[in-house]
Amino acid sequence: MAAPARFRRVLLKVSGEALLGAQPFGIDEKVVDRIAGEVGQAVESGVEVALVVGGGNIFRGMTIAKAGGNRVAGDHMGMLATVMNAIGMHEALERRGISSRIFSAVPMPTICETFSQQRAERALKRGRVVLFAGGTGNPFFTTDSGAALRAAEMGCDALFKGTNVDGVYSADPKKHPDAVRFDRITHAEVLARGLQVMDAAAVALARDNHIPLIVFSIQAPNAFVEVLHGQGRATIIADE
């Protein structure tokens, strides 16, 4: 039998790139289905789960900005990409019989609900998975910041950041094989060392609201559920 979960309510942030699978662009349905299954297991173990999916597998505003284009228009496109991913994740959850609702920061009522903290709260309490789409709804932000914002608004016990590596390193482990991995580190140290784990605005928001950030590899099957139960491999970013 699984160990009891250590958390009552968590927010899981999955980067858009994690949905790529082996593809260079778009959504690999097998990956989305696997993540949906793991979210379902977490819900079954009694944990309330909010989910933020990035959009980097489809579009990032910086791509347009770097090519000399309009950053704001690019960010609007990026936010729409996060809605597409949320719809894909919602479908995968529903196919598995896991009830979920999408709340978008960008109103688009014919496609999904507009974000309301009160309605999201009620949905989480009823055991629904709540998908937060559209990031913060503003350009010049990222979905990491959107995730930290929603984690604070919803009173989450922790923000789980599912990424492509198994924790926080002193440098990019793919480029620097001698990079040191941290088991535990504070928000302040992450900011002071400029570690590239989440953007600084997201880390600062989590620090100010005492929200632990738990960084793990979403590529490792079952890692989310294991880490949720205090097993598996992750870096914990928390107050001392």
235 is in an annotated binding site: no
Which are the contacts of 9, defined by CB distance < 8 A and separation ≥ 6? 47, 48, 49, 50, 124, 154, 155, 156, 157
CA separation (Å) from 182 to 19, 173, 178, 188, 215?
25, 12, 13, 14, 10
- 139-168 mask for ligand UDP (x: CB under 6 A)? x-xxxxxx----------------------
Q: Does 40 bind ligand UDP (CB under 6 A)?
A: no
Question: 14 or 211: whose CB is closer to ligand UDP?
Answer: 14
What is residue 12's three-state secondary structure? strand
13 is in an annotated binding site: yes
> Which residue in 40, 88, 135, 167 binds ligand UDP (CB under 6 A)?
135
* Distance of alpha carbon 34 from alpha carbon 61, whole angstroms: 28
CB of 155 to ligand UDP, least distance (A): 20
Structural contact between residues 35 and 218, judged by C-beta atoms closer than 8 angstroms: yes
CB of 230 to ligand UDP, least distance (A): 26
Q: Does 217 bind ligand UDP (CB under 6 A)?
A: no
Side chain identity, residue 60: R
CB of 44 to ligand UDP, least distance (A): 26
Which are the contacts of 192, defined by CB distance < 8 A and separation ≥ 6? none
Q: Does 16 bind ligand UDP (CB under 6 A)?
A: yes
Size of the site for ligand UDP (CB under 6 A): 25
Q: What are phi and psi of 101, to 5 degrees?
A: -135, 140
114 is in an annotated binding site: no
> Which residue in 39, 51, 61, 215 binds ligand UDP (CB under 6 A)?
61
Question: Which of 121, 145, 162 lies closest to 203, judged by CA?
Answer: 145
Binding site for ligand UDP (CB under 6 A): 15-17, 54-56, 60-62, 74-75, 78-79, 81-82, 135-136, 138-139, 141-146
Annotated binding site for ATP: 13-16, 56, 60, 163-164, 169, 172
